[in-house]
Chains A and B, each alone.
Chain A
Amino acid sequence: MRLSMGVKGVRPVAALLLAASLLLPAAGPVAAAGPVVLTVGTTQDLDSTNPFNTYLVSGYEVFQLTYDLLTNFSLDTSPGPGFADTWVRSPDKVTYHIRDGMKWSDGKPATSKDVCYSWGLAMAAIADGANIGAGYLDPNVKDAGVTKIECPDASTFVAYTTDQSDRIFQVYVPILPEHVYGKVDYKKMADEKFNAPLVGTGPYTLAEWKTGQFARFVRNPNYWGQQGFEDQVVIRFFPDNADAMFQALKNGELDYAHGVNPDQFKQLQADPLYKTDAGKANGWTQLAFNTYGTGTGKTIPNGGPSTKALLDPAFRDALGYAVDKPTLVARVLGGFGDPGTTIVPPVLSDWHVDPTTPRTFDIELAKSKLDAAGYKLDASGSRLDKEGKPIKLRLYAPDSEAAYAKSAEFVKDWYGQLGIVVSTQILTSAALGELVLPPPDGTAKYDIELWGWAGNPDPNALLQIFRCDAIGGTSDSQYCNPDYDKLYDQQLKESGAQRKATLAQMQNLIYDQAPYDVLYYDANLDVHRTDRFAGWQNMPATGTPMFTYGDLVYTLLTDATIAPSPSPVPSEASATPAASASASASASAAVSSTAPATPAPSAATGTTSGGGSSNLLLGGLVLVLVVVVVGGLVVSRRRRTTAAGEDE
């Protein structure tokens, strides 16, 4: 029974070494020393490199670096040159000119054939009443009212439309290389792998994707616009792990971090090495009241809202006076965000209107409005509905962001002051998504859903949530109002001031009817280092440099380690630098002026700069101390045992 540990131990070690050597990718060609790499971090994972399959912001960032849209976005988010360099709008169509001599990253010519293929995918899906993959991109074409597309010659693409709306310039359909994917029809597109390396016309093309780790992009030598300063772009993924991303940023591993938390943001605000951007998000966080049965009188056996009061606009209106939104912004968001009003976020400045009859925080007014609407207090201080039952509301929020649970506690307190008991529960996003479904998929057994939405450059994505036919789909308020639907259909055909007037009506209608109480418009908290790259621009001025509307900023960066020389190679896209310089000036001005919440927190954190990491260091030291003390105790205890000379 002589068992040699040496031999026994060797085998697993050898096996592990073998496993380790298998892990190492095969050696590639030796690269030239030191490519300039821009490293960007995000707290999202990447779900798919197939543009039609991605659900996530990170996926959009990835495909927009590689591919062009027919028209991209300029710094102010207005339509800019993309796959097409110019376009002409006529009453029933838009005629695009495809850039002459443009090439794909593999050197093949890029022509209108590629556009007809890519938009053709969407057209075919629309004709069949179907979607492609995740179904996010092709509806853009439908929404733009495109009825027919044509490619009369290699440099011309024509799209016929039913209306004059601008939505045709916001179509997120990437122009794919026909010579690579041409044989794939829209039905098979969802199964298409899009394995790196990809062929694109964007400034950087995907070269490598390591699931859960990073996506690496290399310079497209044939890019039609101004070549970026960096040779490679790396997007690193820190799924739901803002702490790990923050540590990587502070360790110099990242140049840009998307989605830090408010504490980390404040800590870096005071540090001159970093530039922080609290970009206004195109979305909101809301209280969605379950109004199931409004207009239809339908009820759900064993489900639906717990009281008919929720179906009463006067009741919901009164509740609106009991929510102190500036407090939510200050206490829940750390000052980063804006109090919510109408359903088109202010960042869509062309379309947003403030409510004509705004509600302000006033608990007493809320009480008297409830009394006036027939919801009286009983002797014990409970608010009764018209059936004489105490109103108890079930509020549900998802666990995806800490802010939801915090906001819920505030709402619970404020409604409590009105005599309305709120029970809050936090669910996983998936479970909450299920819970709010009405028949036939669910029983919509909730009263208030506290959650959020993010929209597209065009407000339609957010506006459609309130349509009758969104019930069972995206509607989480179960709201149905034929007047609203009529306005929605009307605005589809309108543009400019006319559309804005209709959208104003719609925003006020929802605000006054209050199926939603928009709590706040969120902010994207992004941070970048200033020592390696310069030339950062916000897109739009109130937004963030990256993870916004496309890839433009990636090509505008310059070397921060040399004296700034604002004269990039003149090329087609360098029509922008002059404009962008002024845009950047106005951008920084706008940010500082439109973020009144910023000065106060930064002043407050000025004294505690570096507080986060020193706290952690302190924690580490305390831990070491605990180990030493407990270890010492154990040692002394052992000594005593030994001294007693006991034997087990």
Chain B
Amino acid sequence: MNAHYLARKLAQAFVTIVAILVLNFLMFRMMPGSPDRVLKNPNLTPEMIAATRARWGLDKPLIPDQLIAYVKATVSGDLGYSIFYRGQPVTDVLGATVGPTILLVGLGEVFAIIGGLAIGAYAGWRRGGKTDSIGTGASLILYSMPYFVIGMPLVVIFAAGLGWFPTSGMTTPGMSDQPLLNQAWDLGRHLVLPLLAVTLGLLGGYSILMRSSIIDTRNEDYITTARAKGLKDSWVLRHHAFPNAMLPMVTLIAINLGYVVAGAITAEIVFNWPGLGTLTIHALSARDYPVLQGIFLLVAVSVVIANLIADIVYGFLDPRVRA
């Protein structure tokens, strides 16, 4: 790892983020419609509409005035005010939803990575065996199922049917008065079903890629050598094959982690989870430009950062890319 490599990657990331910023601004302005017409109000006077437009900065020319104002504000951490949630800064609106999403999708990623890698590794190692057949079959099916297809039966069976878990939401109202332990328990109960849906939805991708990666590794000479030395099969898998098969996984994991903040939109909708995915849908239907821009910026930047991290980690892992 040398400084030059690091500097180049950082510069690339910076340029990408600037491009995103400008694109983010232009894209939303090119969409048809104007946000101040979202809701018709029989009582609003034309003067008042003009005043509101001025308040929202819609009266000035798009370029350069609006663009400069946008870049300036964004850099200083001001993403403007939400149009739907009147009077609330976008940063507050996003802040309230980022946490739930990271909790749900982040934990889902962690479980899916652990489960997916384990299933994929064993399936690939014992290729053609029972673990492979069942594991790969299930992975393929789960991989092809959208979150809501997984989520709906979960709600119907375990929440509405058996009543084991709440059907939706993240907390029981009024829990903020309760001891921390009760709050955590309450959150846990709400989390189980959506987390299960997200984990199952993500599991397949990891397991399938891990399986093929292990199969490739399994044919390497050093594996044959290790086995020839008389090492135990499970030892060879864990200490010789698995670490080497991880290389392609790093990329997938890094990229997926970048998308954690984007949320799992359909999973969040099914469980009415108050995360970024749900917010995205509502911001879209309400034409809440500032919030949408904030979401896009957040997602784009986190993907860029995740890629940057992947590049750097790769640099550590594989000397060839450092050149």
Contact with A along B156-198 (1 / 0, CB 8 A): 1101110100111111011011111001100100000000000
Q: Mark A234-245, 1 if CB is under 8 A from B, else 0.
A: 101011110010
| B203 shortest CB reach to chain A, Å | 13
A251 B86 Cβ-Cβ under 8 A: no
Interchain CB contact under 8 A, B132 and A638? yes
Q: Does A631 lie within 8 Å of B141, measured CB to CB?
A: yes
Which of B97, B133, B177, B179 makes the CB contact (< 8 A) with A638?
B133
Q: Is B125 an interface residue (CB 8 A)?
A: no
**Chain A 464-478 per-residue mask, 1 if CB under 8 angstroms from chain B, else 0:** 110000101110000
Q: Which residues of A contact B168 (CB under 8 A)?
A: 238, 241, 244, 247-248
Contact check, B87 vs A5: say whether CB atoms are below 8 A apart: no
Interface string of B192-208 (1 = CB under 8 A from A): 00000000000000000
Residue of chain B at shortest CB distance from A250 = B160
Q: Is the CB of A16 within 8 A of B102?
A: yes
Pairs of residues from A and B, 3 with the lowest C-beta to C-beta distance, nearest first: A642-B128, A634-B137, A620-B153
Complex interface: chain B residues within 8 A of A347 (CB): none
What is the interface size of chain B, counting residues whose CB is below 8 A from a CB of the partner? 92
Whether B183 lies near A27 (C-beta < 8 A) is yes
Q: Do A16 and B110 contact each other (CB < 8 Å), given the known contacts A5-B242, A638-B132?
A: yes
Interface status of B73 (Cβ within 8 A of chain A): no
Given A19-B103, A19-B106, A130-B48, does the pair A211, B85 have CB atoms closer than 8 Å? yes
Q: Shortest CB–CB separation between residue B101 and chain A, in angstroms? A: 10
Q: Does A379 contact B (CB under 8 A)?
A: no
Give bound CA distance, A27 to B278, whole Å: 27
Q: Digit string of A609-634 for contact with B (CB within 8 Å is 1, else 0)?
A: 00001001101100110010011111
Question: Using an 8 Å CB-CB cutoff, how does the interface string of B222-251 with A read, 1 for contact, 0 for none?
Answer: 000000000000000001001110100000
A3, A22, A617, A619 pick with most chain B CB within 10 angstroms: A3
> Complex formed: what's the CA distance from A624 to B173 in Å?
34
Interface: B40 (CB within 8 A): yes
Are A429 and B38 in contact (CB-based, < 8 A)? yes
| 9-residue interface stretch from A189-197, A284-292, A332-340, A502-510 | A189-197
CA distance A429 to B40 in the complex (A): 10
Q: How far is the CB of B194 from chain A (nearest CB, A)?
A: 11
B 101-136 to A, binary, CB cutoff 8 A, 1 in contact else 0? 011001100100110010000000001110011101
Interface residue? B285 (CB, 8 A): yes
What residue of chain B has the Cβ atom nearest to residue A470's Cβ? B42
**Please, what's the 1-or-0 string for B11-38, where 1 marks a CB less than 8 Å from any CB in chain A?**
0000000000000000000001111011
Tell me whether A430 and B166 are in contact in the complex, defined as CB-CB below 8 angstroms, given that A27-B179, A48-B87, A620-B153 are known contacts.
no
A244–B38 alpha-carbon span in the complex (Å): 25
Q: Does B96 sit at the interface, judged by CB under 8 A?
A: yes
Contact with A along B279-300 (1 / 0, CB 8 A): 1011001110000000000000
* Contact (Cβ within 8 A) B176 A240: no
B209 to chain A, nearest CB (A): 15
Cβ contact within 8 Å between A648 and B133: no
Q: How far is the CA of A501 from the CA of B161 in the complex (A)?
A: 56
Alpha-carbon distance between A47 and B99 when the two chains are bound, in angstroms: 20
Interface size bracket, A side: 35 or more
Q: 25 A–B contact pairs at CB < 8 A? A: A23-B103, A24-B184, A24-B187, A28-B177, A48-B85, A54-B86, A130-B51, A131-B48, A139-B43, A210-B173, A211-B88, A211-B274, A212-B282, A213-B171, A236-B169, A430-B33, A434-B37, A613-B156, A616-B152, A617-B161, A623-B153, A631-B134, A634-B136, A638-B137, A642-B127
Determine the residue in chain A with the shortest Cβ distance to B102.
Answer: A19
B68 at the interface (CB under 8 A from A): no
Q: Are B179 and A30 in contact (CB under 8 A)?
A: yes
- With both chains docked as a complex, state the minimum distance between the C-beta of B160 and any C-beta of chain A, in angstroms: 5
Chain A residues with Cβ below 8 Å from B62 are: none
CA distance A635 to B171 in the complex (A): 41
Is the pair B86, A211 in contact by a Cβ cutoff of 8 Å? no
Measured between C-beta atoms, what is the minimum distance from A459 to chain B in Å?
A: 12
Partner of A12, one of B47, B110, B170: B110
Whether, in the assembled complex, A35 has its beta carbon less than 8 Å from a beta carbon of chain B, the answer is yes
Of the candidates A23, A28, A241, A631, the one whose C-beta lies within 8 Å of that of B269 is A241
In the assembled complex, which residues on chain A have CB atoms less than 8 Å from the CB atom of B87? 48, 50, 53, 190-193
Q: Name, among A39, A617, A630, A634, the residue most crowded by chain B CB atoms within 10 Å (CB to CB).
A: A634
- Specify which of B140, B178, B278 is in contact with A239 (CB 8 Å cutoff): B278
Across-interface contacts of B136 in A (CB, < 8 A): 634, 638
Bound form: Cα–Cα A71–B99 in Å: 42
